[in-house]
């Protein structure tokens, strides 16, 4: 099965060059047909895509010159393999439930989780 990717890029020239190389090699899927979204830029576009983007897996890539640490380096070759490897990893993170104390000092538990 071919992995269908939707690429997004920041307006920086290096990100636009990477976008062109990636779409030339892998094509450009529309949002509905995409299996994952690949934002190219720095931490800003990576976070924006995760927080505001579609409910699809995100594989963020940083362009040359970006000092961000949330994204993977841009490498055109073997991108589907890299994405497959990243999605096959299971992370186990300790979580705790957030407890809020209301003004009357009664405890209120929320469904929110905080990573510790």
Q: Which residue ranges form the domains of the chain, and what is each CATH number? A: 5-87 (3.40.50.10330)
70 burial via Cβ count (<10 Å: 0-12, 13-18, 19+): middle
Return all residues near 6 (Cβ < 8 A) that are at least 6 apart.
Answer: 28, 29, 30, 31, 34, 36, 37, 38, 56
Catalytic residues: 43
pLDDT in tens, 6-28: 999 999 999 999 999 999 999 99
pLDDT in tens, 21-58: 999 999 999 989 999 999 999 888 888 888 888 888 89
pTM: 0.71
* Distance from C-alpha of 99 to C-alpha of 101, rounded to nearest angstrom: 7
Tell whether the model's pLDDT for residue 114 goes beyond 80: no
């Amino acid at each position: 099965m071919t992995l269908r990717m939707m690429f997004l890029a920041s307006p920086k020239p290096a990100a636009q060059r990477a976008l062109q190389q990636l779409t030339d090699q892998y094509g450009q899927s529309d949002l509905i047909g995409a299996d994952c979204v690949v934002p190219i830029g720095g931490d800003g576009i990576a976070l924006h895509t995760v927080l505001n983007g579609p409910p699809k897996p995100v594989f963020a890539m940083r362009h040359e010159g970006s000092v961000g640490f949330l994204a993977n380096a841009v490498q055109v070759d073997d991108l589907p393999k890299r994405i497959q490897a990243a999605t096959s990893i299971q992370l186990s993170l300790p979580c705790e439930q957030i407890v809020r104390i209301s003004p009357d000092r009664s405890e209120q538990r929320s469904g929110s989780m905080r990573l510790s």
